[in-house]
Amino acid sequence: MNIDKNTVKHICNLARIDLDEDELEDYAEQLAKIVIYVEKIDNLKLDDVPQALNPYEGVNVYRDDTASAFDNISGLINLFPEREGNFIKIPKVID
């Protein structure tokens, strides 16, 4: 695919971007290089390469989800400024 100034003007019109003539030249050259690179990638012979979603083959390690008693309830409750017995007091959130 050939990228020239007219193609860049058309793209700029679609994207609502204003470029001057020098910028049109620069972007035409840059886009042409990008298209050539993509065409090279498209022409690669990858029939013998196995597909992979992720090259990292690590496995997540999960622990069992088991309930256990919390040992320091009084220490936790003492962190709050207002408390009553084994309960904490917080400001009213919903009217």
Torsion on CA atoms 60, 63, 64, 66, rounded to nearest 10 = -140
Give the confidence band of 52 by pLDDT, cuts at 50, 70, 90: confident
Q: Is the dihedral of CA 84, 88, 90, 95 positive or negative?
A: negative
Domain that holds residue 37: 5-42
Joined together, the tokens standing for residue 16 give 């609502």
Does 64 fall in a domain?
A: no
Does 26 fall in a domain?
A: yes
pLDDT reading at 15 higher than 90:
yes
pLDDT of residue 13: 93
Does 58 fall in a domain?
A: no
Does 35 fall in a domain?
A: yes
Does 30 fall in a domain?
A: yes
pLDDT reading at 38 higher than 90:
yes
pLDDT of residue 8: 92
Q: How far is CA 4 from the centre of its chain?
A: 33
* pLDDT, tens digit, 9 for 90 and up, residues 53-63: 777 777 888 88
Does 65 fall in a domain?
A: no
pLDDT reading at 14 higher than 80:
yes
pLDDT reading at 37 higher than 90:
yes
Query: Which of the pair, 69 or 56, is modelled with greater confidence?
Result: 69
Percent share of the chain, pLDDT over 70: 100
Q: Which amino acid is at 3?
A: I
Longest dimension (CA), the chain: 78
Does 32 fall in a domain?
A: yes
